[in-house]
Amino acid sequence: MVLVPERFNHFGIWRNAEAPTDKAYRFQAKRVIWPWVGPAQNYLHWYPQLGDILRSFRPDIIDLWQEPWALVSAHACWLRNRILPNAKIVMESEQNISKHFPAPFRWLESYTIRNATYAVGRSSGVINVLRNKGFTGRADIVGNAVDVELFHPMNREECKRALGISGFTAGYVGRLVERKGLMDMINALPMCPSEMTMIFAGAGEFRAALERRAQELGRSAQVRFLPARSIEELPQVMNALDALILPSWTVPSWKEQFGRVIIEAQACETPVIGSDSGAIPEILAEGGLIFPERNPAALAMAIAHLKANPDQTRQMGQTGRLQVERNFTWRRVAEQMRDIYLHCMESNHGTIAAH
């Protein structure tokens, strides 16, 4: 069974739960208390009906697809201890910085870590953080996933024509926010080939600053802003790029935790140029180039290298696709989670995944 909130705030947008198309899939969308609480965001939400669900469904495993410092995680552990003491807890995390949280979050985190049976992290840095905070159980890296039937190689020139662009094109896809290092892309332009195009596909408050800087540098003609796209439209954008750029910055409260756009681009055989922030080098691997974050000159050199070496660029794209097929398809991630569940289970009655 999968349990999700009826409504949830995702980057400032309220979304309703989407029921799966497969009617046999056990799915429940339930009301949550405190779905959004100011600075605490969604980390204080909890299900008032969770106790009743545990009593009726009686899972062997409770998979917490929420950070261990979230109230829903600690609440699920507390209910497990009182209702189903033999059920196993799988906690999942993306946090790759060892933060010292204020109360009550550090208490919630400590309680969840003490009660968890198994830990799942999106990168090796996440597992290291959990170890440093006292988790001694078994842990594995399970990445995010991409639909490789939706994201697949297409005719690059046709995709460019559909977007009204031509020639060598590099770009970013995602939210336009400062910590993604997007200003480095603009500042790299004077050191890049003058005939290339730089694309920003997405929405965000940082767009105006990027436009101003491009104008100051006299490079506005090389920069194109595209509106945010639905996931069904993204493959065309990824295939129109000769290179995806993810120039994220590390800041005190955040460093790149995975970079889902990396595997979306790689599934389209588009090589990636990524900074060395957080998990980017680990996820990108041989499917592109890494440059030191906050270094526009190094970024420009990477762009120039790919433009000057089309055979190597094509090979990087093919390698990226193979990496995705090996590690980041939905089937592969499902297999990894299945193996974790089988390791945890003492009897096979069911699993509940609480988001």
Confidence of residue 12 (pLDDT cuts 50, 70, 90): confident
Report whether pLDDT(348) > 80: no
Is residue 353's pLDDT more than 80?
A: no
pLDDT for 273 equals 98
Same domain for 38 and 126?
A: yes
pLDDT at residue 347, as a whole number: 46
What is the pLDDT, as a whole number, of residue 97? 97
Let me know if residue 230 belongs to a domain.
yes
Same domain, 166 and 276: yes
Looking at the fold, whether 161 and 112 belong to one and the same domain comes out as no
When pLDDT is cut at 50, 70 and 90, the band that residue 102 belongs to is very high
127 and 180 both lie in a single domain: no
Cβ atoms of 45 and 70 within 8 Å: the answer is yes
- 129 assigned to some structural domain: yes
Residue among 183, 170, 184, 173 nearest 292 (CA): 184
Domain that holds residue 39: 2-145+330-354
Q: What is residue 355's predicted lDDT score, i.e. its pLDDT?
A: 52
Closest CA to 112 of 81, 143, 140: 81
Contacts of 159 (CB under 8 A, 6+ apart): 236, 237, 239, 240
Residues 138 and 71 in one domain: yes
- Domain membership of residue 274 (yes or no) is yes
For the sheet with 61-64, list strands across it: 27-30, 2-5, 351-354, 61-64, 88-93, 118-121, 138-141
Number of domains in the chain: 2
- Domain assignment present for 150: no
Residue 151 maps to a domain:
no
Tell whether 53 is covered by a domain.
Answer: yes
Q: Answer yes or no: do 346 and 223 share one domain.
A: no
Mean pLDDT over each residue of the chain, to the nearest integer: 95
- Indicate whether 115 and 192 sit together in one domain: no
Res 349 pLDDT > 60 = no
Q: Which token pair is 145?
A: 């996933």
**One domain for residues 36 and 111:** yes
pLDDT for residue 280: 98
- Please tell me whether residues 218 and 345 are part of one structural domain: no
Q: What pTM, to 2 d.p., does this model score? A: 0.94
Alpha-carbon span 9 to 319, nearest angstrom: 36
Question: What amino acid is encoded at 320 in this protein?
Answer: G
pLDDT at residue 159 in the model: 98
Is 84 inside any structural domain? yes
pLDDT exceeds cutoff 60 at 354: no
Residue 126 lies in a domain: yes
Question: DSSP E strands: which ranges in the chain?
Answer: 2-5, 7-10, 13-16, 27-30, 61-64, 88-93, 118-121, 138-141, 169-173, 197-201, 223-226, 243-246, 272-275, 288-291, 351-354
Q: CA 236, 317, 153, 257: dihedral to nearest 10 degrees? A: -60
Predicted confidence (pLDDT) per residue in 141-194, tens digit: 999 999 999 999 999 999 999 999 999 999 999 999 999 999 999 999 999 988
Percent of the chain whose pLDDT exceeds 70: 97
DSSP state of 355: -
For residues 197 and 344, membership in a common domain is answered with no
The pLDDT value recorded for residue 25 is: 87
Tens of pLDDT along 52-89? 999 999 999 999 999 999 999 999 999 999 999 999 99
| Same domain for 338 and 321 | no
CATH number at residue 250: 3.40.50.2000
pLDDT of residue 23: 85
pLDDT-derived band of residue 10, with 50, 70 and 90 as boundaries? confident
Q: Are residues 214 and 74 in the same domain?
A: no
Backbone dihedral angles phi then psi of residue 33, each to the nearest 5 degrees: -90, 140
